[in-house]
Structure 1
């Protein structure tokens, strides 16, 4: 069964955005890697699938763009969706695919200069991560 978060408001035409996201814990599993944007919002690293990318290709590209690191893709955690409205008030449905992952070598400086890598405490994930389905995925990843 699909995990669905957020409220679907009747009469709105939701654009579906399929994305792939990494759950990366530190060795003690008390922190998770997040990306903070210039507005101060936290997200899991990852993003939308472009063209005919595989999930792995998407996550590898997004990780390089956002963090500058290569990533090892581990086990699949699950799929969860969230209805929300973007900052421009566009109705969106984020269809997220979540994987455990590990950081490998730093290859470059991040391309997206308004994104900052932050290790956030597991205890504060719920209030810091913007999307509920990202929080759900972190909780699921901790079970592994």
Structure 2
């Protein structure tokens, strides 16, 4: 089912938006200072090509540890990203979503474009993993939280 979903997605907007992410990544790499944002563009570009079966998740939620992208520098990075590229990619995903909502078969794809529009606004600190890995990380975090609550910390 994921294969069929990804194939249809690729045709119904995934190709265009994946390329848009990669163009943003190339521009970021050309600026040299934008290399960290460029790396995120290529990760999310691949996700924009084939999103079904994968999920964007915070690296902090995945690993249980804060890193440079999930801390204060990540917030600053996402603000810079939002101003220079995020809003434009989000608009592209919103337009793609509206076009997909015009046909019945496109409704699930429009919903996926809306999710990607949200990620386009602040991708720093996130990574792409399979849905199963994301679910396992959430379960592990919930168990850890429950254990801490029971300990009284």
More strand by percentage: 1
Do both share a fold (TM > 0.5)?
no
TM-score, scaled to structure 2: 0.24
More helix by percentage: 2
Greater Rg by CA: 2
